[in-house]
Amino acid sequence: MEIQRHGQTINERALLKPMELIAHDSNLEIIVSLPKLHPGIETLERHCTEEGSPAPFEIRRRMRQRSHTKETDGKLGVVHVPDFSFLLDLVDFRIRYTLEEVESSEREMWKNGRDVEKDVDEFLNMLRDRVRRRIPRG
């Protein structure tokens, strides 16, 4: 399964290597904020993961921005760009589950060979088709 995502094929470890030289200075507290990793793309060699060798500083993962502005013919619009966790695009899981639980479940699905992004996309397209058929065009 070949997945290409902007920024996710960057070698985080190589990028952060120079910071390791100053990370052991007791006068510094280093906290690095990085986007969450797509489970279908992350590798131990390129990315700072829980399974890999730990970085000598704190790394906090955050969700990527999903809504972006796009100008078409001089008009601004909003474009939704899905990203991990794709399950969050289906419903508001916070009612019943924590973000960590949803991400953990989705990571497990990816590890078991499921293409969660494709599954969610197909489901949302099916819902859109059903809505289109029910709304009379006049």
Burial of 64: CB neighbours in 10 Å, binned 0-12, 13-18, 19+: middle
- pLDDT tier for residue 3 given thresholds of 50, 70 and 90: very low
Question: Residues 76, 84: contact at Cβ < 8 Å?
Answer: no
Residue 64 pLDDT greater than 80, yes or no: yes
pLDDT, one tens digit per residue, over 46-58 is 888 888 888 889 9
Distance CA(77)–CA(65), nearest Å, equals 15
Proportion of the chain above pLDDT 70, given as a percent: 89
Residue 33 pLDDT greater than 90, yes or no: yes
Domain ranges of the chain: 1-62, 64-138
pTM value > 0.85:
no
